[in-house]
Structure 1
Amino acid sequence: MRVLPNGTLLDFFTGLGVTPAGSSIGYLKSTNKGASWSAPTFPIDIQSSGAVTPNSGEAVRDASILFSVAVDPMSGALYLVWQDTRFSTAKCSTPNGPFDIEEILFSQSNDNGATWSTPVKINKTPVNATKPCRQQAFIPAVAVAGNGTVVVTYYDFRYDTDSSDFEGTDYFALFCNTACTDPGKWGYEKRLTEASFNMLDAPNAGGHFLGDYMGLAATGPRTRTVHPVFGIATAPNVTAEFTRKITLP
């Protein structure tokens, strides 16, 4: 649920099997404090099959049909991020077969959700011609800092090595100050993990599981700080939650 500055309520959800795409981000709208609601609208399709570990190809339970949404409390702009493969051209080849490359896509609405910008890829995971599986990015979260900066967090495998029993994973934050529908404006990135952790240590619950969502919140109006909460596999079958203060540039 998100509340716009004018009091409009938007209840977001994933619709399964209700559009030709199969999975779509939808919402219901209420302009009278929830007394009545609009019919559902499905502005964004999700094209995702889920991430896998880059060496062994084991499934990552990344909630690839889910998404994250934020609203700017000053301007009312809405921001959506989700996993998607529509722009990927390389294939992730593993012992379990080829997979499409998961990326982080972004769209925004400046008219209370009536229209949305064309989705663009924003994650800065480096292209890896030798090991395309290390280009995967997954489990995004989005928030708006008090100064209007849009912040997106996600995992990827960019620092993974060729070890078959260590699938190196890291968590990153990405920032945009203006014109965020232009992927070139997402220029500053910060690594949030001190060192890569082993995805294979994460408990296996239909895939190695760090969490369906990760937390991300601003500290308050007109501030330049945000606080992510994210899972790291710290030992076999153990995932611990971490946070750190991010002061925006």
Structure 2
Amino acid sequence: MRVLLPLTAVTTAALLVVTVTGTTPAAADRNPDGTSLVKVSHGDPYAKCTIGARSPDSIVHPGTEVEPYLSVDPRDPKRVVTVFQQDRWNDGGARGLAAGWTTDGHTFHRSTLPFSLCAPGGADYERATDPWVSTGPDGTVYAGGEGVDFTKSTRSALLAVTSRDGGRTWRNLTTTHVDEQPFFNDKPSLTADPIRRGTAYQVWDRLDNDPPGPSSLDGPGYISLTRDGGRTWSRARRFVDTSAVPNTQTIGHLIVADRRTGTLYDFFDTITFADDLSTVLEAHYAMVTSTDAGETWSAPVAVARDSSVPEVDPNDPTKLLRAAATLPSPAVDPRTGTLYMAYEGSDFSGGEFDSVQLVRSTDGGRTWGTPELISPRGVPAFSPSIAVAERGRVALTYYDLRFLRPGNTTTLPTAYQLATLRHGNPELRSERRISRVFDWLQAPFSGGYFLGDYQGLAADGKGVRAVLTETHSGAPQNRTDVYTGSLGTR
């Protein structure tokens, strides 16, 4: 769930055994280069759940799977775990979170994450949202998310579980932090330390608007960590402070680690509002650094201006979209330590629409270069994800609207693209489509036509593995599915 003021882009514990169902791969349409994706989201484990309506206007979209993320086992790239929202509500969150796991890279099986009352053995929350997953160097899988209530309380909780069998079953359900209004916890991510066994970090923003009124908003970054493989988590604490500037919040915290040095980098967006809390005064991406496994953190360093604009159908701006504006996607080159951050921005369209932009740092984040355009010029593009393969090739995935024709206001033809940068150089760039061309307007509506606030991309040996949401036309009971594929970075 993305709580951003305003709710648009910047300018405006015991073992929990879950139901596991074997599945067979189902390929999406073949793409021009022969790439074939595998469907991850088979069936609906929460179809009979009646929990979660917050008002008579609440609408659940059954059979929808959105906002996927994934993790690849560093010991074996065929062992993959994906997570996603299952049955999205129109007014926030989903009935629950689900996972798809494989040991051969092709055949995915289903399990459920115990983060809501709809899930077997689930936590005592009406809805769940913001799925995340990461695998440690010993193969321990850490999954995180958020549980939320709307009727029986006003709680928002950060939750975590672990799996020792590749996502089949989940244990160590832990509430890493919980609040009631006026606090709201939002946009958590979870990162397993790639060199410290048993260590993982969960980070998020914690919004405080009490008492309501001028200069009242505060939205610092919080962290909780585990050193024992997820059996226990530390007490949540503030690690990015926003109190010095009134009406300032962070969002999109995500930690990446340099495997050569163990240094941690947390990236996020910082947004400052006027007293009306609807006018953005300033927004920029920033990062903080830790050299002691998350115990202490540096002061923030500015990375890039957030120039994102509202995500809309360009032929009919009354049709709102929801993608990854305000949410950074960072990565580290495992050979050199070069840092990259991909993000949505309008610097190359004169503020008309968002494209995929990239910045980099070669000195550990102390200084950053100017933005570079990755997606095609003149075409709106959304939801960038970035990963660096073992040989240093930089890969980015994103949705774009290049197939939309002038005057078409009935459909929104959309495709998912993979761009590969040799030596990280946009001038040495190749691109190919990896999805079907599908209609974005068939996605569930939740503050905009919703494919997810993010999609996933991870290094996969010599290449990368992507996970993404596609829609289906004429299928109101199955509007979306989640697909994945292992992709070369030629």
**Preserved contact between residue 418 and residue 433 of structure 2 (Cα < 8 Å):** yes
Indicate the residue corresponding to 1:185 in structure 2.
428
Say yes or no: does 1:158 pair with 2:392.
no
Indicate the residue corresponding to 2:459 in structure 1.
218
Q: Which moved more, 1:155-164 or 1:5-14?
A: 155-164
CA spacing shift, 1:69–1:51, aligned 2, 3 Å: same
CA spacing shift, 1:179–1:228, aligned 2, 3 Å: closer
**Preserved contact between residue 394 and residue 424 of structure 2 (Cα < 8 Å):** no
Structure 1: unaligned runs, 5 residues or longer? 90-98, 128-134
**Preserved contact between residue 10 and residue 30 of structure 1 (Cα < 8 Å):** yes
**Preserved contact between residue 301 and residue 365 of structure 2 (Cα < 8 Å):** no
Q: Which amino acid aligns with 2:356?
A: I
Separation in structure 2 between the aligned mates of residue 245 and residue 21 of structure 1, nearest angstrom = 42
Task: Determine which of 314, 333, 336 is the counterpart of 1:75.
Answer: 336
Separation in structure 2 between the aligned mates of residue 123 and residue 63 of structure 1, nearest angstrom = 15
Structure 2: unaligned runs, 5 residues or longer? 1-254, 274-279
Deviation at residue 179 of structure 1 after TM alignment: 5.1
Separation in structure 2 between the aligned mates of residue 46 and residue 68 of structure 1, nearest angstrom = 13
Indicate the residue corresponding to 2:470 in structure 1.
232
Indicate the residue corresponding to 2:418 in structure 1.
173
**Preserved contact between residue 69 and residue 81 of structure 1 (Cα < 8 Å):** yes
**Preserved contact between residue 21 and residue 47 of structure 1 (Cα < 8 Å):** no
Per-residue Cα deviation, 1:138-186 (whole angstroms, up to 9, x for no partner)? 1101000111100011111111234432111111000111252xx4222
Per-residue Cα deviation, 1:77-100 (whole angstroms, up to 9, x for no partner)? 1111111112214xxxxxxxxx71
1:88-167 to structure 2, matched below 5 A, reads: 88-89=349-350, 100-124=352-376, 127=378, 135-161=379-405, 162-167=407-412
Indicate the residue corresponding to 2:299 in structure 1.
39
Local SS of the residue matching 1:171: strand
Indicate the residue corresponding to 2:439 in structure 1.
198
Q: Which amino acid aligns with 2:464?
A: V
Per-residue Cα deviation, 1:110-130 (whole angstroms, up to 9, x for no partner)? 1110111111111125x4xxx
Q: CA RMSD in A?
A: 1.9
Separation in structure 2 between the aligned mates of residue 163 and residue 211 of structure 1, nearest angstrom = 24
TM value normalised by structure 2: 0.44
Indicate the residue corresponding to 1:56 in structure 2.
316
**Preserved contact between residue 157 and residue 169 of structure 1 (Cα < 8 Å):** yes
Local SS of the residue matching 1:22: strand
Q: Which amino acid aligns with 1:15?
A: T
CA spacing shift, 1:240–1:179, aligned 2, 3 Å: closer
Aligned residues with identical type, % of pairs: 35
Deviation at residue 13 of structure 1 after TM alignment: 1.6
Q: Which amino acid aligns with 1:109?
A: S
Q: How many residues align?
A: 224
Separation in structure 1 between the aligned mates of residue 443 and residue 356 of structure 2, nearest angstrom = 22
Deviation at residue 104 of structure 1 after TM alignment: 0.9
Q: Which amino acid aligns with 2:380?
A: Q
Deviation at residue 2 of structure 1 after TM alignment: 1.2
Q: Which amino acid aligns with 1:247?
A: G
Indicate the residue corresponding to 1:130 in structure 2.
none
CA spacing shift, 1:103–1:170, aligned 2, 3 Å: same
Local SS of the residue matching 1:160: coil
Separation in structure 2 between the aligned mates of residue 156 and residue 143 of structure 1, nearest angstrom = 19
Separation in structure 2 between the aligned mates of residue 21 and residue 54 of structure 1, nearest angstrom = 25
Q: Which amino acid aligns with 1:192?
A: I
